[in-house]
A and B are shown apart, each in its own frame.
Chain A
Amino acid sequence: MGNGTSIGRVRGLGPAHEGVHHWLVQRFTAIGNLVLVLWLAASIVLLGDLSYATVSGYLSQPLPATAMALLIVSTFWHARLGLQVLAEDYVHTAGNKFAVIALLNLATVGGAAFGLFCVAKLALGGAA
């Protein structure tokens, strides 16, 4: 933090101490979510039924499997950024904030990895 210009005196004073990159990636992943979750909603409506055979057959095809894998990455990334802001706004102690964000990273990376593995198994694992 500088002490010269007016912007230099306030830069870094927010609860996260930085933010332009976070802000931009939140928007990039939002565009991904908009396209991919609308694809998922349309797929759910357009599939004849939601039985095991229909849904697993659909998600094992190349394009739906790719879209689902991208949806997992985009939504988990976006959710990680959004929950990070929640923690930064409401968890005020530095140590607790660090712990919450560390837990958040574990949960979102772990969750996304599990989702991607499930899609890979559906697409590549043959008949379940």
Chain B
Amino acid sequence: MADRPLSPHLSIWKWGPHMAVSILHRITGDGMALVGLAVLLWWLGALASGAEAYATFADWMTSPLGYVVLVGLSWAFFNHMTSGLRHFVLDIGAGYELDTNKAWSVASPLIGILLTAGFWALLLLR
């Protein structure tokens, strides 16, 4: 490693919503990359393999563990989507005022939870 100054690390900062939304973005994104894409491939592989393989997939996904995974993945998507849209705004140089930044750091994950609840309400009540 080059001998150069390092920035102060995690433990020295006062915890705030902008830090929570940042690490949640990474956790939900990498969670979907590792778990979500595997479930997507299982779903597509089962569809391509026939009705029997699809029934096995459906049995797993409608078990209690399956619902935990699917609700978790849908929450991860909507959370990552809202904090990702926040990133697009920050990318154009807007939203760095302290109050604005804090407000959207709190709002992004809350909107993500509302969208997850709305998605499952539509799915289960249709």
Q: Which residues of A contact B (CB under 8 A)?
A: 13, 27, 30, 34, 37, 41, 44-45, 50, 52-53, 55-56, 59, 68, 72, 75-76, 79, 82-83, 86, 111, 114-115, 117-119, 121-122, 125, 128
Are B91 and A27 in contact (CB-based, < 8 A)? yes
From residue B98, how far is it (CB to closest CB) to chain A in Å?
A: 25
- If A41-B119, A45-B119, A115-B40 are given as contacts, then 14 extra A-B residue pairs at C-beta distance below 8 Å, sorted by A number, are A30-B88, A34-B85, A41-B77, A52-B54, A56-B47, A56-B54, A68-B44, A75-B40, A79-B29, A79-B37, A111-B38, A114-B45, A122-B44, A128-B47
Complex Cα distance A127/B84, Å?
A: 39
Q: Which residues of B contact A (CB under 8 A)?
A: 2, 4, 26, 29-30, 32-34, 37-38, 40-41, 44-45, 47-51, 54-55, 58, 74, 77, 81, 84-85, 88, 91, 119, 122-123, 126
**B-chain residues with CB within 8 Å of residue A111 when the two chains form the complex:** 37-38, 41
Known: A13-B2, A52-B55, A128-B50. A45 touches B126 (CB 8 A): yes
Are A45 and B33 in contact (CB-based, < 8 A)? no
Overall SS of chain A's interface: helix
**A-chain residues with CB within 8 Å of residue B50 when the two chains form the complex:** 52, 128
Are A52 and B37 in contact (CB-based, < 8 A)? no
Total A-B residue pairs with C-beta atoms closer than 8 Å?
78
Known: A79-B32, A82-B29, A118-B47. A37 touches B77 (CB 8 A): yes
Known: A118-B45, A122-B47, A128-B50. A79 touches B33 (CB 8 A): yes
Complex Cα distance A27/B119, Å?
A: 25
Are B126 and A115 in contact (CB-based, < 8 A)? no
Please indicate which of the listed interface residues B2, B29, B34 has the most CB atoms of chain A within 10 Å of its own CB: B29
